[in-house]
A and B are shown apart, each in its own frame.
Chain A
Amino acid sequence: MQKAHNLKEYREELRETLDNDFLRTTLDNFAIAYRAGRANAFKDMDVRGLIKEIADSKDAAAQDAEALYQEFKKNAEAAGIHVHFAKDGDEANRIITKIAKDADCKKIVKSKSMTAEETLLNHDLEDAGLEVTETDLGEWIIQMRHEGPSHMVMPAIHLSRYQVGDLFSEVTGTKQDTDIDKLVKVARRELRQKYVEADMGITGANFAVAETGGIGLVTNEGNARLVSTLPRVHVALMGIDKLLPTLHDALRIIKVLPRNATGQQITSYVTWITGANECLAAEDGKKEIHYVVLDNGRSELIKDPLFSQVNRCVRCGACANVCPVYRLVGGHKMGHIYIGAIGLILTYFFHGKDKAKNLVQNCINCEACKDVCAGGIDLPRLIKEIHARIQDEDGHPLPSMLLGKVLKNRKLFHTLLRTAKWGQKPVAEKDGFIRHLPMIFSKEHSFRALPTIAETPFRDWWQKNRPVVENPKYRVALFSGCVQDFVYPEQMKAAVDVFAANDVAMEFPEQQSCCGLPVQMMGETKASRDVAAQNLRAFEPEAYDYIITLCASCAAHLKHNYPKLVMDKPSLKLRADAFAAKVIDYSSFVNDVLKVKAEGFTKSGEKATYHAPCHLCRGLDVHEAPRELIEKSGMEYVECAEEEVCCGFGGTFSMKFPELSAELLKKKLDNVESTGAGVLLTDCPGCIMQLRGGLKNRGSKVKVKHIAEAMASNRK
């Protein structure tokens, strides 16, 4: 649970989990095994198509939630089930407590339900004098430890067999083994008597099917079947997001849910309950069944034009499985009750701003969650939006406000950068790094060396050196982004060299400025919009065949976010659409459009490995082009482990959470160094800054270059 009052306290909590070696190892192993397991489970399936179908069906269900609820209720009641509506968690808990009291229940067995975690149901039931036992193994373990789940599907993933063994010794009153198989059997036998004694069973529901008035439950252990069979009363608590029009919609979700959650093709049990079924423990032989349908902010959410997509979440937990930050700090720190990317969003809507305000800043925007989401939810965008909303409500922190103000004024921004060149003189080394970090950086930023501002920015060089291209094949505009313009102009020069040699005529629109992603990341929506408008005015999209950028983050931001940012200005929106359509990254342009050939490059045979920038591989779905270019430019490409995992830069993220950034970088560099390659290539200047700075700090011999530089230096 999120208890920190401010970012400082939150960072303190994060630091503690970073020291938990067991957690780190478990989550590392899991992250790697999960990727392979998921890929295998989805083999030969049209995953994108299936996710699109689910997104469409869940969107339609959200639009129709009220009518679906009425149909569900009517059909369920006709089959002898009591249906209740609860506007918030407290009301749901009151309804369930009353059901227990009215039916004279004393003991309750529960099957895992995130919705009951959300309403903190157990507390209220226990306060009312009822005995509640969780029966899902992981849930039972954390219940006895008085903890919340640390993963949506594997609630006790943060605990070792030794901790469980100690806990079970305490529970049974006798010393227990640490053999997992035996521990599981102890739980089986201990819990069996709980089922026998219970008079009420509580489950969640994965699906509430309107056409049948029935529910569907997805489990592996089989506890939901026992919980819904043995006690004479059954209560199912579900959010309105579980409503679906037809059985078909549910069967479709089952194709994705277990595959995405655990890499299973299907769970051991999928249980469909319709109507008040037989119960031999009840006087009339029929089970008393209640459905409690919970709103708790959901209807508000589905009315919101942007956030309604949250309704698509099927609670598979995959967004945590692939999140590099979750992998470092675990679910107790990467969520309040719901964890992972979706957790950061749901926390805001279900548990409020105070619980969410620190959490939402802990997203590195690598888009791994968006890429894996079973409902195709644009999770990183929603997280940023919540961050912006909270800042709008609570006031903006000074640094982000200042950055916003500076970026909005291109001349001021560029003057500041030029001035910084002089200011850094006393600390600048000849090798392009700053010797001592300036005072504004604290010790924890020393995990990587920082680069100096270049002597001459690209825009000044361009004025004097722009090549003349006779009979051009293509006319393009260059978008440099601030880092390449002012820190790494050599990357741009290298691109100009290769383009000119391939008959590409280039323009560099002078009025262009920072792409605006940094302020967007800091929740400065207004500034982000203003910067986008400036850049859109600086470019005349119709005049070019392509708008090329060598920065993956700029490219993804220009392509995907600009049209959204100016959505409310019709004339600018048209321009943004035309602009976005022409934006292309360096590798795709050179490989797929120019189709350069290996014959044009000297074969050096030097071993080069690759880091895939998040905004290139996921943001733009570019995978093959850069790797093909490495080979074409005469080098030998050596694959690196976890090539498409974030390097930990994340722009402003690495400034805000240096400890996490350092850990992500460490993993990345370990993988890079174990390839044995002498060169590390990538295509994003931000990644280069992070990787080069980290390698410099390690004293490593591995050289980091932009792919454009490798190509220019090997060009015949």
Chain B
Amino acid sequence: MASKEDLYQQFVEKAQLVSAKVSSIANEDDALEYVINLCGEKEACQLLASGCEADLSDKAEALCDAKQKKVIAAPGLKADLYKKLSAQAKKAGFDCIESGMRDHLAGIDIGFTFAEYGIADTGTLMLDCPGEELRLATMVSEFHVCVLPKSKIKANSYAVEKMMLTRMKKTPDYLAFITGASRTADIERVLALGVHGPLELHILILED
């Protein structure tokens, strides 16, 4: 049986192979600091950086124009943590939301979530998101930042099978394995990140 440390090492190695950005954090406050810094550093709209100078059809253009301010979405966060994040975001000049994701379909800068489990042999995050807000936050965000408690890293998908079944049987359920950023190789097999979902996946591994 692999030790906790081995699983952690394997998880990091595999996640980095698929271009996830992995960091270690000591506590939840570190995670908030990471999110705020990241939001501050990133381009106002990542889509701008990689395509806005190219003209779009009027409709697509209009949707892009709908977005004016940097947005951090953190649905499903514990109340006290959300309160802290919200305060810090406000101070930095960002919007912070935990619902109403459908009003932000042009894109959110950062989706901030907690993973239920990590799967070491593929560097995968397991997120259960029966609630629509959480699901959307992991999809329409340009950067997805996800906290994974170290103790929740399991060896492989078989090791999370029981947990998955428990959730699936308590329907309705919508569960996701997320491994790296959204990607495509549909044009000339050239890898491009961020086609429909996040352009970057940041994993913060929480010592616990």
Residues of A that sit less than 8 Å from B by CB:
26, 29-30, 33, 78-80, 135-138, 141, 154-157, 159-161, 164, 171-177, 180-193, 195-196, 211-214, 220-223, 225-226, 229-230, 247-248, 251, 254-255, 262, 264-281, 286
Instruction: Say which one of B27-35, B53-61, B76-84, B145-153 lies at the interface with A.
Output: B53-61
Please give me the residue from chain A that is nearest to B50 by CB atom.
A185
- Decide: A268 and B50 in contact? CB cutoff 8 A: no
Question: Interface residues of B toward A: which range?
Answer: 35 or more
- Decide: A272 and B186 in contact? CB cutoff 8 A: no
Residues of B within 8 A of A159 (CB): 187-188
- Decide: B57 and A225 in contact? CB cutoff 8 A: no
State which of A30, A183, A247, A271 has its C-beta within 8 Å of the C-beta of B189: A30
Residues of A within 8 A of B161 (CB): 247-248, 251
- Decide: A186 and B173 in contact? CB cutoff 8 A: no
- Decide: A181 and B173 in contact? CB cutoff 8 A: no
Instruction: Say which one of B90-98, B110-118, B164-172 lies at the interface with A.
Output: B164-172
Residues of A within 8 A of B59 (CB): 193
- Decide: B196 and A188 in contact? CB cutoff 8 A: yes
- Decide: B157 and A254 in contact? CB cutoff 8 A: yes
State which of A247, A254, A264, A270 has its C-beta within 8 Å of the C-beta of B176: A270
Closest Cβ–Cβ distance, residue B118 to chain A (whole Å): 13
Residues of A within 8 A of B194 (CB): 184-185, 188
Instruction: Say which one of B1-9, B36-44, B124-132 lies at the interface with A.
Output: B124-132
- Decide: B195 and A189 in contact? CB cutoff 8 A: no
Residues of B within 8 A of A254 (CB): 157
**Extra pairs beyond A154-B186, A191-B196, A196-B63 (4, CB < 8 Å):** A79-B172, A190-B56, A277-B174, A286-B172
Residues of B that sit less than 8 Å from A by CB:
14, 17-18, 47, 50-51, 54-57, 59-60, 62-64, 102, 105-107, 121-124, 130-133, 135-136, 139-140, 157-158, 161, 164-165, 168-169, 171-190, 192, 194-198
What are 10 inter-chain pairs, A to B, with CB distance below 8 A?
A173-B57, A185-B194, A220-B182, A229-B132, A265-B17, A265-B179, A268-B182, A274-B169, A274-B172, A278-B172
- Decide: A275 and B172 in contact? CB cutoff 8 A: yes
Please give me the residue from chain B that is nearest to A22 by CB atom.
B188
Given A192-B106, A247-B164, A248-B161, residue A280 in contact with residue B186 (CB < 8 A) = no
Closest Cβ–Cβ distance, residue A366 to chain B (whole Å): 23
- Decide: B183 and A220 in contact? CB cutoff 8 A: yes
Please give me the residue from chain B that is nearest to A141 by CB atom.
B186
Please give me the residue from chain B that is nearest to A280 by CB atom.
B132
Residues of B within 8 A of A267 (CB): 179
- Decide: A226 and B187 in contact? CB cutoff 8 A: no
> How far apart sit A248 and B165, CA to CA, in the bound complex (Å)?
10
State which of B140, B176, B187, B196 has its C-beta within 8 Å of the C-beta of A271: B176
Q: Which of A30, A33, A226 has the most CB atoms of chain B within a 10 A radius of its CB?
A: A226
Closest Cβ–Cβ distance, residue A284 to chain B (whole Å): 13
- Decide: A271 and B192 in contact? CB cutoff 8 A: no
> How far apart sit A189 and B124, CA to CA, in the bound complex (Å)?
27
- Decide: B51 and A189 in contact? CB cutoff 8 A: yes
> How far apart sit A269 and B178, CA to CA, in the bound complex (Å)?
5
- Decide: B171 and A222 in contact? CB cutoff 8 A: no
Given A135-B196, A251-B161, residue A279 in contact with residue B132 (CB < 8 A) = yes
> How far apart sit A341 and B198, CA to CA, in the bound complex (Å)?
35
Q: Which of B62, B169, B181 has the most CB atoms of chain A within a 10 A radius of its CB?
A: B169
- Decide: B182 and A176 in contact? CB cutoff 8 A: no
Please give me the residue from chain A that is nearest to B124 by CB atom.
A266
Residues of A within 8 A of B197 (CB): 221-222, 225-226, 268-269
Closest Cβ–Cβ distance, residue A511 to chain B (whole Å): 54
> How far apart sit A79 and B175, CA to CA, in the bound complex (Å)?
15
- Decide: A272 and B168 in contact? CB cutoff 8 A: yes
Closest Cβ–Cβ distance, residue A630 to chain B (whole Å): 36
Please give me the residue from chain B that is nearest to A173 by CB atom.
B57
> How far apart sit A406 and B113, CA to CA, in the bound complex (Å)?
73
Residues of A within 8 A of B124 (CB): 266
> How far apart sit A230 and B102, CA to CA, in the bound complex (Å)?
8
Shortest beta-carbon contacts, A-B, top 5: A275-B171, A275-B172, A222-B197, A185-B51, A138-B186
Residues of A within 8 A of B56 (CB): 172, 174, 186, 189-190
> How far apart sit A596 and B182, CA to CA, in the bound complex (Å)?
56
> How far apart sit A155 and B140, CA to CA, in the bound complex (Å)?
25
